[in-house]
Structure 1
């Protein structure tokens, strides 16, 4: 009798969650993965769906996002025409990408930039410390991970020094990604010095009842005096110490230093997230008057879970389909959507040389298996698949025909497409694209190519495991 009662409860629970899944329009793969999980293990599947099955930012956040949208649109429309690149002055491929990006975010292509690629963590921190120490008016930082130890102590000291000499300093930190930092003495040093610390998307058991806790702020942004900015893949973490117990070696990152109007545009993007978290109005200062430093044309492209569509995926698809000769991508995590996967294979089939560089070892075994499930089809389509052997390659970059570069925080996985706040720099510049392409060649030299015949010789159990986990990849 009791067993029959449990069966009825299990059945009703499964039906209730299935109806809930059907009440939301999601991608076919995601819906099927949830249905499979709920049917196979109703109790666990239902609990997981209630916790992480929907992009729930919470009623307060979503209302703030609705109120914020017209404020951001008004601000974007007020960008001085002197900073905006005239329509029609780009190549046809760049024009299609830029129009889509502007249509999705409202942010135009901007001119008058100098870009400097910083190809390792030491160069990044050295440059960032110099800019913070020279700051006269403001320092605005937003990073997913702040991890105490190593050169991070020097960065904290630089921020404290800047605040003490009257510079306005603000530091945004993701609550989950920076959890150890919030427990360290460094956080009190910053607050005591007058640095405004904003904890993004706080994590606690009570919030789990109302919001999805794995929606995270994955951005990496630094803006100094509203004229110099940084973005890319590096967190505020010393790779000599960060996650050394994961067995993947040092994390290998790259950042770009930007001089020009995109700096205050990046600050405005970060201030919009500050407004979402704090409830304050979105009120970035008036754009400063900056002297033209160079002629690089760039576009800032923010994305996040507050939108109903996967903006960054649309951008990447447009870039892939615009390629005529070559596409080179680097990403630590490759678990693509079916549409992105099809776009890459289609590019290779039509004669575009497609190269994908991923780390040999990553810090998630499940993601590794899910990623490996795509290797056979990638190699069969003629895509060159390289595995970086000198650490966890964390740089996220895409270079199209050595003319256009998308560079920033976005991994080629559904988490970056759907769940994280991300930011990308689109550079319509041949010189910068050549620099990033040269960095990619350096990664290639430290990588090993995966051969189709060798890959197909792997054990059957491995193939079955990869495909089984890949089916559930929308849930990763």
Structure 2
């Protein structure tokens, strides 16, 4: 037996090991009882493509949400978090008032996320929609400079260019004055020099990269990344949205016009942002720490704006953001206005959009005419014909690149956050959105949407259907990579 093994070629040995691992992977796949089409696809890839199939399955076929790779129990079990969530529980009377005043029959949205412990509905809030990075970053810097207790940031992209240094300088100044400063940044998305890291260390800024990897430039799309953009100041002020911290997102420092949306929140919803930050911090630090009550200060806001913070990713039990968007579209009666830089929807979202449009709902989607990724642009275009035929209206943003991730429904519900309308946001990356149940905020979102429509051209279905065969082939080929983009 040993002699036979020695006589085999290296390639034969590799194949034997490969198919031994394939059998284990195939058994694991079958026991998951996942979608039959998805399961069959991975089984074929595993069997037909030696080594490559295993790599593809390892990178994309595993369900980390179910494996609980990203722990959160330590944070959710802390008494401070439990007490905070208890304080936010609304009685039936107040929930009825919110339904009557704001939701017009769409209370299912609240109930959907209220079933999740880490997405409580908050009622005492104010929210401000901020247009573009050049308006967002200075506001964050201003609030950081006034911090008296702590500053917590979690960002996908942080670079030490002019825009990033605006933030870093403010963080260092506050840390040097004894303020608690914690920073989590995605290792792949961000780029910080050793000099900048040394300076933050010397200033007292605590920082941790999220999931460091080797050769990050070559693996930016192959990993579970922290795509969130969160800033929390003193537990009173919170920011989230599409604006990252680099010159790319700041018009005047970027040669290409960049259209984005961010929100500034004051009130109870900031505590939800704080809770999700701590879950990430717990993961990146790999050491237990105690959350203090001052991280969740008493809310001083009297304004009634109902907000839920929905987070999703491998650290959540359910695809919360996708489920909320899906439910909102299904409940729509008049209109659904969506802005997204990447339109690569899964089957559930496609069905929801098509059914809404065919039911007479005015469904409009703004996407960039020219994407920052050719592959993503062709993949997105491959979905247009089907939704256009169902009655969905597609508008191409021509002024520059639209990076906002927003949706507004029937003048009562809106969502602003980090989640794109694509596979990665719904199933892979760490994302976070604000779900807002407020007519005034919805009116603001509609106003911004209509303003953006002035910089768009609408796709004509007949013309699009008759586009060239080469274009269609490119789109179909790139669509194969949709789950990876």
Question: TM exceeds 0.5?
Answer: yes
Separation in 2, partners of 1:166, 1:229:
21
Other structure's SS at 2:314 match:
coil
Corresponding position of 1:111: 123
CA offset at residue 285 of structure 1?
2.4
Equivalent residue for 2:391, pick from 366, 382, 386: 382
Corresponding position of 1:193: 203
Separation in 2, partners of 1:228, 1:241:
22
Equivalent residue for 2:262, pick from 255, 266, 270: 255
Equivalent residue for 1:267, pick from 252, 255, 274: 274
Q: 1:456 to 1:341 in 2, by over 3 A?
A: same
Q: Deviations over 1:424-461 (max 9, x none)?
A: 10111111111111111122111111111111122223
2:376 paired with 1:367: yes
Contact residue 150 and residue 241 of structure 1 kept, 8 A: no
Other structure's SS at 1:461 match:
helix
2:30 paired with 1:22: yes
1:194-209 maps to which residues of 2 (within 5 A)? Answer: 194-204=204-214
1:375-454 maps to which residues of 2 (within 5 A)? Answer: 375-454=384-463
CA offset at residue 145 of structure 1?
0.7
Q: 1:39 to 1:358 in 2, by over 3 A?
A: farther
CA offset at residue 231 of structure 1?
0.7
1:26-425 maps to which residues of 2 (within 5 A)? Answer: 26-28=34-36, 30-38=38-46, 40-56=48-64, 62=69, 64-71=71-78, 74-75=82-83, 77-80=85-88, 86-89=94-97, 90=99, 91-178=103-190, 180-181=191-192, 183-204=193-214, 214-239=223-248, 249-279=256-286, 280-281=288-289, 283-286=291-294, 287-425=296-434
Separation in 2, partners of 1:171, 1:420:
19
CA offset at residue 7 of structure 1?
11
Deviates more, 1:289-298 or 1:30-39: 30-39
CA offset at residue 292 of structure 1?
1.9
CA offset at residue 15 of structure 1?
5.4
Separation in 2, partners of 1:22, 1:444:
47
Separation in 2, partners of 1:308, 1:81:
21
CA offset at residue 71 of structure 1?
4.2
Separation in 2, partners of 1:85, 1:418:
35
Contact residue 272 and residue 282 of structure 1 kept, 8 A: no
Deviates more, 1:328-337 or 1:308-317: 308-317
How many matched pairs?
466
Q: 1:8 to 1:117 in 2, by over 3 A?
A: closer
Deviates more, 1:320-329 or 1:12-21: 12-21
Q: Deviations over 1:320-365 (max 9, x none)?
A: 1111100000111111110110000000011100001111122333
Contact residue 33 and residue 474 of structure 1 kept, 8 A: no
Contact residue 275 and residue 282 of structure 1 kept, 8 A: no
CA offset at residue 74 of structure 1?
2.6
Q: 1:82 to 1:317 in 2, by over 3 A?
A: closer
Separation in 1, partners of 2:402, 2:70:
38
Contact residue 242 and residue 403 of structure 2 kept, 8 A: yes
Separation in 2, partners of 1:293, 1:121:
29
TM-score when normalising by structure 2: 0.87
Contact residue 184 and residue 208 of structure 2 kept, 8 A: yes
TM-score when normalising by structure 1: 0.88
Other structure's SS at 2:395 match:
strand
Q: 1:284 to 1:277 in 2, by over 3 A?
A: farther
Other structure's SS at 1:114 match:
strand
Report the RMSD for the aligned CA atoms in angstroms.
3.2
Separation in 1, partners of 2:70, 2:274:
22
Deviates more, 1:11-20 or 1:434-443: 11-20
Separation in 2, partners of 1:384, 1:302:
28
Separation in 1, partners of 2:90, 2:329:
30
Q: Deviations over 1:64-87 (max 9, x none)?
A: 335445449735533355899822
Separation in 2, partners of 1:148, 1:115:
29
Contact residue 156 and residue 227 of structure 2 kept, 8 A: yes
